[in-house]
A and B are shown apart, each in its own frame.
Chain A
């Protein structure tokens, strides 16, 4: 997936001279996760810029550059590092178009690695999309593999709004064949990854592959949707799918409280109450910091086996089963 991201940036830099990349160690070192391999050599140090460890500084600078004619792509090495610069994204970048009556556009892309699975400990393993989802003026996309990372990155660079693209770090090394010339998705569109009749599973980021494997293993016929964009989320596709299957399961890597699935569950419950054949099922991580030890970390992120178990119990009883931590507690 890291090569796909580098290719997406390169293709857009090739197509548009106003696209630049900046972040910590993105130029000379080609990115700590090798997501900018070859870019410095190809596009030079004016357009591919190493920054100091100074997220407020370079995210703010990217905002200023975006309002003045460039299309900056900013790499935030770990999403947690966005915390020190959140003002520049949530309170500044997201509001500049609004606060200029539409006269200043902010074609800014903020890429950040997210998620558990690589043993980085609790301060380098969160997904933290909850920091962003309630922010009018931002778009938020989440990659689920090389193909979607390539497409979402290119679409984000072409968008005239600030777009955050989250990259599940555990997937950087994953390989996937794709056709780079496929039409780019519209940000805000989900992708139906597999068809099914009995249940709609909506997943995001690294839970998409787990959901697909769980759907294959499940005794029921499950449709899997990769939400792809969290803000705005694809209401039409999700509501239409649930209208057909009558059941919705959401698979989230984030801790349960304030997780992205809560909004979707609420809206589906509000709008499709009459057609739901079971309560909405949210499969999430527990409300604890991400544990370091490998076994616990693996357990923290919903696995294919856990998803399949939860789906099975839910389908059988028509009730939401207790999560593993409530059972084992």
Chain B
């Protein structure tokens, strides 16, 4: 599928299934995430979007590893830094960009915005913009799978900052005592909003926190797709076979600030450059080159860039969300009109 049929021609589910085809598809997806995130920042810079956004450049390996290690029928609860994971799980670039632009083509019809993405076809629950909120929700999704006798797994993806909020501890505790099929993946990017982890958290390996919930846990290099993938696969296998929940900490880094307005001046000099020297996409390309499976990278990059650009144009051409949509889904069964009687 490399450089061939446009990504946009595929459904979210097909895009998800693409990841199983091999390293090249996963490499291409990481590249897509990077270029879409860059495009998001451009759209903001051009004044074409209002509001805020939280981009994930530098964390692409974690997102793609999770998507590759799970099935589309598994359920994923994710945070407001969710563009990368949404794309990895299969959400189409024009659906993502359209949502950020508030357009009808967006995956939520333009009502959600950057922080609220969802696609049940690939198991993505509506992403939650409250730190830690999705963690107990994932435990409940695991409970549903267990009680319904399905072998589905739920994955909670959250940042290092979330490990200080009650929902994290309550969610892990419930998953542990009920032995639920849940995988907790912590993207430790060293900053909770604007604050460095040392200011807020007394431990450096966050996997130690899972030990008090008697849960298998490991900390892995979040810049190495295969390393994260292997850890998540072990956890998913354990969950699927009735072995209960696990915790994976992926040590990674966000190149951008917390949100659009954050220039990240609080970061020590040289830190960003040091992490860029371990860029997950470059590291994976290097591995593929060693393995002899990487073709013409520049041609590949040009192909992805062209498709992302096409997606951006498609999204920009879509009309804004309409007033009718605003009232359509407040309550189930269409009871959404504001005043009556």
Residues of A within 8 A of B (CB): 18, 20, 46-47, 49, 51-52, 54, 56-70, 72, 84, 87-88, 91-92, 95-106, 136-137, 139, 159-161, 188, 232, 234-236, 239
Whether the Cβ atoms of A64 and B141 lie closer than 8 Å is yes
- Give complex CA distance A88, B128 in Å: 10
Whether the Cβ atoms of A70 and B147 lie closer than 8 Å is yes
Determine which of A69, A72, A99, A234 lies in contact with B126 in the assembled complex, contact meaning CB atoms within 8 Å.
Answer: A99
As a 0/1 sequence over residues 75 to 93 of chain B, the CB contacts with chain A under 8 angstroms (1 = contact) are 1010000000000000000
Whether the Cβ atoms of B166 and A104 lie closer than 8 Å is no
Chain B residues with CB under 8 Å of A46's CB are 147
Determine which of B140, B167, B331, B333 lies in contact with A66 in the assembled complex, contact meaning CB atoms within 8 Å.
Answer: B140
Whether the Cβ atoms of A61 and B136 lie closer than 8 Å is yes
As a 0/1 sequence over residues 321 to 341 of chain B, the CB contacts with chain A under 8 angstroms (1 = contact) are 000000011111101000111
Whether the Cβ atoms of A161 and B167 lie closer than 8 Å is no
CB-nearest residue of chain A to B145: A68
Residues of B within 8 A of A (CB): 75, 77, 108-109, 111-112, 116, 118, 120, 125-126, 128, 130, 133, 135-145, 147-148, 152, 154, 166-167, 170-171, 173-174, 177-178, 328-333, 335, 339-341
Chain B residues with CB under 8 Å of A102's CB are 328-329, 332
Whether the Cβ atoms of A88 and B116 lie closer than 8 Å is no
CB-nearest residue of chain B to A84: B166
- Given that A68-B145, A161-B332 are contacting pairs, would A56 and B108 also be in contact in the complex, using a CB cutoff of 8 Å? no
6 tightest A-B contacts by CB?
A64-B140, A60-B136, A57-B170, A235-B341, A61-B140, A68-B144
Whether the Cβ atoms of A99 and B332 lie closer than 8 Å is no
Determine which of A64, A67, A106 lies in contact with B139 in the assembled complex, contact meaning CB atoms within 8 Å.
Answer: A64
Whether the Cβ atoms of B143 and A87 lie closer than 8 Å is no
Whether the Cβ atoms of B126 and A68 lie closer than 8 Å is no
- Given that A68-B75, A70-B143, A96-B126 are contacting pairs, would A101 and B136 also be in contact in the complex, using a CB cutoff of 8 Å? no
CB-nearest residue of chain B to A63: B137
Chain B residues with CB under 8 Å of A139's CB are 331
Chain B residues with CB under 8 Å of A103's CB are 118, 120
- Give complex CA distance A70, B120 in Å: 16
Whether the Cβ atoms of A104 and B125 lie closer than 8 Å is yes
Whether the Cβ atoms of A60 and B133 lie closer than 8 Å is yes
Whether the Cβ atoms of A68 and B141 lie closer than 8 Å is yes
